[in-house]
Amino acid sequence: MMENKMEKRKLGKSGLEVSALGLGCMGMSFSYGPPADKNEMIALLRKAVERGVTFFDTAEVYGPFINEELVGRALAPFRHEVVIATKFGFGTSGISALDSRPEHIKQVAEASLRRLKTEVIDLFYQHRVDPNIPVEEVAGTVRELIKEGKVKHFGLSEAGVQVIRRAHAVQPVAALQSEYSLWWREPEAEILPVLEELGIGFVPYSPLGKGFLTGKMDENTTFGKTDFRNTVPRLSAGNRKANQVFVDLLATIAQRKHATPAQIALAWLLAQKPWIVPIPGTTKLSRLEENIGATAVELTKDDLLEIETASSKLKVQGDRYSEGSAKLINR
């Protein structure tokens, strides 16, 4: 039934094999404005499977809950062909409070299994590090869930180097999910070397800079009232104008490669390490097709050097999150 076999990648030494590009499902229900039409999203998720995507990313907090239900319903017919990742770590009041107490993690696992209509969660991430709960307890709890057959692999999100090492010593971490793109390269300094050393895969979210690196936005773009990008300093009108230089760089290379800026941004990430699997999100079939097309773009050493040289001279204007959101990210 697969129209297009995409290359597969292994997330570190965990043995977890997924399509080179995953699909971030958050925006279908949450964060970028009102939820999209359910039936259209189910069709989109199934089209992704048809095109060879086998890695789908959701979380209980997206919606909350409705995104997991959507993903579960859409992927039920293909459950054995796909890998579903979801996340725990926020309290019942949503993203204002962290809660990684062991009993809460177990409750979330049961609820997520129900919503996802599945017997096992392929990859269970701690959504944000909880400073009140030692990560060893978190890792130990997920280890128990793995022993019980409810979870297959353990992941962390936006965790710093020490937390990664401590968690991995208790239960091997299959993947770290954090923001990484041509205009947020902080993970390169300390995170990527540690992942390489420990054999942990890396799943970049916002690989297209929340849409900016696609070249479809400029200083005149306006976001809907409920679109969280209104609060992102880096995406303020003035900063968008200043940051256009990144898009121009991608566009120059895209033209030469008969590709789009978005495809170059994704191909650049794929070229960094063989164990990196970006998860761009979209609600549009045309964008899904475009993103998948990135896996066929070959960037040569010269192309990569050119991107490196040019981008090293560019300075991103504006923070990646507003101060309130930034507090939830622990290094």
- Decide: helix, strand or coil at residue 19: strand
CA atoms within 13 A on the CB side of 74: 28
Run of H or E including 295: none
Within the chain, residue ranges assigned H as helices are: 38-50, 66-75, 102-115, 135-147, 161-170, 191-198, 237-257, 261-272, 285-293, 301-312, 323-326
Active site residue 62: yes
Indicate which residue of 62, 125, 180, 205 is catalytic: 62
* Sequence-ordered list of residues with C-beta below 8 angstroms from that of 172, at least 6 positions apart, any chain: 13, 14, 154
3-state DSSP call for residue 35? coil
Cβ-based neighbour number of residue 290 at 10 Å: 18
> Which string of b and e fits 101-115 if b means at least 16 CB within 10 Å?
beebbbebbeebbeb
Do the Cβ atoms of 84 and 116 come closer than 8 Å?
yes
Q: How far is CA 23 from the centre of its chain?
A: 8
Just list the catalytic residues: 62
